[in-house]
Chain A
């Protein structure tokens, strides 16, 4: 991961905002880049005057949102085929996930923005179950603003010592991701118990 992050950072330093855009975009679609650690570093570069904090934030938010929309649009368009090929209509758990996303789309879309590498899965599922476009866009954008803002601000604050914070930030991101998966599962569990508990 260290050397992968190093390679990404070289590209970011060489091609600046273009590289930042493509890395964040591809991470939002599906590629498991260490995007948060990279944003932490970009925040540090901004504190050294090598990047603009606000422009980096704008690029990260736009790239993240476009990446999420790509995932959403793909499954929204080809969703029926995917469900048929993978025989998802036979999986009961998938039915509950669908119900969860349909009835509480706003909450689910918003909280899954902080689920790190799991957030592309939520995008695919949102497209698959047909979450309304405007709801997806609004809550996706909101979540996508908060997450990079946090990473960039922390990087800006710690400056050149950002790499010391990379591990703790990855751990924190993992804690949040697990908490979100648990949150969604608890809601699904409650739904099952409400329907069939008696």
Chain B
């Protein structure tokens, strides 16, 4: 095959690839805009000065309303920090005997103790809420 012919074929293939990528690009842009609008509707992005204010101020401890943010990947140590809990509060409340506490993930602890992860997560949430409400 002639080199010129091969190059023409390659150029055509690159052109097709660019058209396909262009379509993918536009679809991704549409999805990104939809996602952005969803965040605005949910008032997660609610003000123009959002970034400036949030960058200036360090975020404080979370409140009882934010206990729903607790996830299985979080560790007890992390929860103690973000909710400003006493070091042994969750250990006592949930009767945790594991010597690795608080360096344990909630999901990992539930698995190793053969507990239902969702039920255990619910118990942690309730304990955190109970502490924060009394403060």
Contact = CB atoms under 8 A, between A and B. Distances in A.
B18 interface: yes
B22 to A, nearest CB: 7
Interface stretch (B5-13, B91-99, B121-129): B5-13
Interface in B41-86: 42, 44, 50-51, 54-55, 58-59, 62, 66, 69, 71-75, 77-78, 81-82
Nearest to B8: A196
Contacts of B28: 171, 174-175, 178
B7 A13 contact: no
Contacts of B130: none
B27 to A, nearest CB: 10
Given A175-B29, A178-B21, A189 B73 contact: no
Interface residues of B, number: 46
B86 to A, nearest CB: 17
Interface string B1-45: 000101110110111011001101100110110011001001010
A156 B55 contact: yes
Contact of A13 (B21, B66, B74): B74
A6 to B, nearest CB: 4
A196 B9 CA distance: 11
Contacts of B25: 175, 178-179, 182
A49 B82 CA distance: 8
5 contacts: A5-B73, A159-B54, A182-B21, A185-B17, A189-B11
